[in-house]
Amino acid sequence: MTRRTVIVPNRLGIHARPAALIVKKASSFRSEITIAAGSEEINGKSIMGVMTLAAGQGTELAVTACGPDEEKAVEALCELIASGFGED
């Protein structure tokens, strides 16, 4: 299992477009991926799950993956989130 935290930097947080980008990236990996904000933990490959996080700017997310490509998955997702999704 690989786990890393990342802060949501973009002003609008994770709304529909960033959520879709997260799910698309997560779905490209074979590992099981979860994303947690506080006590809420969701499946990183579920658009509805990612949307329900309602992660605003400054929210700390814990990205966890378990599987054959877990390290690459966590690294890619954390880089995507830290990039601000190209919004700022």
Residue 55 contacts residue 18 (beta carbons within 8 Å) = no
Q: Tens place of pLDDT for every residue, the chain, 88 residues?
A: 999 999 999 999 999 999 999 999 999 999 999 999 999 999 999 999 999 998 999 999 999 999 999 999 999 999 999 999 988 6
Choose, from 2, 9, 15, 62, the residue flagged as catalytic. 15
Q: How far apart are CA 59 and CA 56, in angstroms?
A: 6
Is residue 88 annotated as a catalytic residue, yes or no?
A: no
Q: How far apart are CA 82 and CA 16, in angstroms?
A: 17
User: Which pTM does this prediction carry?
Assistant: 0.94
